[in-house]
């Protein structure tokens, strides 16, 4: 038994297995407990940091076990040097991975803090993580003794060829960056493109922007270059509130002052009682047309956001129709007057025919 325990290979395996087991125990006990404590606090940074180091203790302690195993007895110098480089790459790589997670989560948290519950576009998070990843690769190469200056020069020359081969991809990438930096189209904005597509912007990615249509909820994928060059109407800027217009026509026999009073009263009640209305903004009524069979007017009401238009218009039309019936105000059918000439006096009489 003593000879078995004194065996070099047994000791080496023991160090490796012990390091891995220690890392797993730290993950299951220490990190899990820290995650539970962080979840009880109001701050989100501690949750982000703990989530960022997920898996890192196992890598570090496992690498430490391998390093101790290599120093047991006499090992081949080439094998020892190679394994040390591998361990160095693992440790630095785990730090870079932690940094990428932390930076990506930090960007998302800062975006949510500034814009409410809105997440940062995927493109911003991806670029932040990419920057940390590239920096980590350079650090690893330097620690491996590789001169990165020729590599950077080669990347600069090769970048020209790559740029020519990937014109569309890079065009969409820079268009996406332009969209984000301009802040004229943001996630959760309701937009309408000049081509007719409309909906909520859900995300801005490296190649395209996704728009969720209303009310069917389908996704429209628009290349960033197309969106950047389109005429876009943003219903969420400079504010989300907007006017809803309803066209109404009443008979020529109606008392227009009474019609105005009734319509405004109904509109105010709808703004107060229906979710999505803005009772602080008075509705507006404007008579605008002497039509063939009616005097037409428009009622405008302010709603909180784009999706509130439908419910507000729906409820207003129902209530106004019922109120007009109660008040004896007529919404006339379209009527066309036909005069027949060249016949008898009876035939020359005007006849009014409803138009269906």
In this structure, the answer to whether residues 109 and 213 fall within a common structural domain is no
pLDDT exceeds 90 at position 267: yes
Over residues 186-199, mean pLDDT = 86
Do 211 and 200 form a contact (C-beta atoms < 8 A)? yes
Is residue 154 one of the residues assigned to a domain? Answer: no
pLDDT (average), residues 197-216:
85
| 267 lies in the same domain as 226 | no
Q: How confident is the model at residue 264 (pLDDT cuts 50, 70, 90)?
A: very high
**CATH number, domain with residue 222:** 2.30.30.60
Q: Residue 322: which CATH number?
A: 3.30.70.100
Q: Considering only CA atoms, which of 35, 38, 138, 19 is closest in space to residue 87?
A: 19
The pLDDT of residue 293: 86
Q: Are residues 9 and 134 in the same domain?
A: yes
CA distance 285 to 260: 7
- Asked whether the predicted pLDDT for residue 12 surpasses 60, the reply is yes
Q: Which residue has the higher pLDDT, 156 or 232?
A: 232
Q: Indicate if 217 and 308 belong to the same structural domain.
A: no
HEC assignment per residue over 119-154: CCCHHHHHHHHHHHHHHHHHHHHHHCCCCHHHHHHH
Residue 352: inside a domain: no
Evaluate if residue 191 carries a pLDDT over 80. Answer: yes
Specify the pLDDT at position 349: 46
Q: What is the predicted pLDDT for the residue at 324?
A: 93
Q: Are residue 283 and residue 226 in the same domain, yes or no?
A: no
Which range has the worst mean pLDDT, 28-32, 121-125, 222-226?
Answer: 121-125
Residue 343 lies in a domain: no
- Residue 116 clears pLDDT 80, i.e. is over it: no
Residue 252 has pLDDT above 60, yes or no: yes
pLDDT at 112: 60
My answer on whether 112 and 217 are in the same domain is: no
For residues 226 and 258, membership in a common domain is answered with no
Domain termination site, one of 127, 146, 165: 146
Number of domains in the chain: 3
Strand ranges in the chain using DSSP code E only, listed in sequence order: 190-193, 198-204, 208-212, 219-223, 232-234, 242-250, 284-290, 295-303, 335-338, 351-354
Which residue pairs from 144-153 have beta carbons closer than 8 angstroms and sit at least 24 positions apart in sequence?
Answer: 144/85, 144/88, 144/89
Residue 76, preceding bond cis, omega within 30 degrees? no
Which of 199, 234, 269 is the endpoint of a domain?
A: 234
Averaged confidence pLDDT in the chain? 81
Using pLDDT thresholds of 50, 70 and 90, give the confidence band for residue 154.
low
Which of 12, 127, 110 minimizes the C-alpha distance to 70?
Answer: 12
Clarify whether residues 190 and 312 are in a common domain.
no
- Higher per-residue confidence, 4 vs 237: 237
Q: Considering only 70-84, 133-147, 297-311, which range has the smallest mean pLDDT?
A: 70-84
pLDDT tens profile 339-348: 777 655 544 4
Inside any domain, residue 342:
no
Domain match, 14 and 139 both: yes
Q: What is the DSSP letter of 303?
A: E
Within a domain: residue 136? yes
Residue 55 inside a domain? The answer is: yes
Single out the residue in 189, 217, 234 at which a domain terminates. Answer: 234
pLDDT digits (tens, 9 = 90+) for 220-248: 889 888 888 888 888 888 888 888 899 99
Reduced to 3 states (helix: H, G, I; strand: E, B; else coil), residue 42 is coil
353 is a domain residue: no
SS3 state of residue 83? helix
Strand (E) or helix (H) holding 273:
helix 256-273
Looking at the structure, do residues 184 and 303 belong to the same domain, yes or no? no
| Structural domain includes residue 306 | yes
pLDDT tens column, 51-99: 888 888 888 888 888 888 877 777 677 777 888 888 888 888 888 888 8
Domain range for 216: 180-234
312, with CB counted inside 10 A (0-12, 13-18, 19+), is buried
Confidence band, pLDDT 50/70/90 cuts, at residue 351: very low
311 and 214 in one domain?
no
Do 250 and 190 share a structural domain?
A: no
Give the three-state DSSP class for 356: coil
């Amino acid at each position: 038994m003593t000879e078995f325990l004194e065996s070099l290979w047994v000791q080496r395996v023991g160090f490796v297995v012990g390091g891995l087991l220690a890392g797993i125990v730290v993950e299951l006990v220490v990190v899990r407990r820290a995650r539970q404590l962080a979840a009880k606090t109001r701050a989100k940074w501690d949750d982000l940091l703990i989530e960022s180091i997920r898996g890192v203790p196992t890598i570090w302690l496992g690498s430490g076990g391998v390093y101790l195993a290599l120093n047991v007895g006499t090992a081949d110098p080439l094998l020892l040097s190679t394994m040390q480089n591998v361990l160095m790459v693992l440790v630095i790589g785990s730090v870079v991975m932690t940094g990428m997670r932390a930076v990506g989560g930090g960007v998302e948290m800062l975006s949510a803090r500034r814009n409410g519950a809105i997440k940062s576009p995927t493109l911003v998070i991806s670029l932040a993580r990419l920057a940390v990843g590239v920096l980590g690769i350079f650090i690893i190469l330097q620690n491996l003794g590789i001169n990165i200056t020729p590599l950077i020069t080669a990347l600069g020359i090769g970048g020209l060829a790559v740029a020519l081969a990937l014109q569309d991809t890079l065009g969409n990438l820079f268009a996406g960056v332009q969209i984000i930096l301009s802040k004229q189209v943001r996630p959760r904005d309701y937009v309408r493109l000049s081509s007719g597509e409309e909906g909520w912007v859900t995300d801005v990615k490296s190649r395209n922007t996704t728009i969720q249509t209303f009310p069917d909820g389908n996704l429209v994928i628009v290349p960033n270059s197309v969106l950047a060059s389109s005429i876009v109407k943003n219903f969420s800027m400079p504010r989300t509130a907007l006017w809803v217009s309803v066209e109404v026509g009443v008979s020529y026999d109606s008392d227009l002052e009474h019609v105005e009073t009734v319509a405004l009263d109904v509109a105010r009640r709808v703004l107060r009682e229906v979710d999505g209305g803005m009772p602080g903004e008075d509705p507006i009524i404007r008579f605008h047309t002497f039509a063939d069979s009616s005097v037409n007017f428009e009622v405008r009401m302010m709603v909180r956001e784009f999706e509130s238009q439908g419910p507000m218009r729906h409820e207003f039309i129902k209530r106004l129709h019922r109120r007009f019936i109660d008040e004896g105000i007529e919404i006339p059918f379209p009527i066309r007057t036909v005069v027949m000439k060249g016949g008898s006096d009876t035939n020359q009489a005007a006849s009014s025919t409803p138009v269906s």
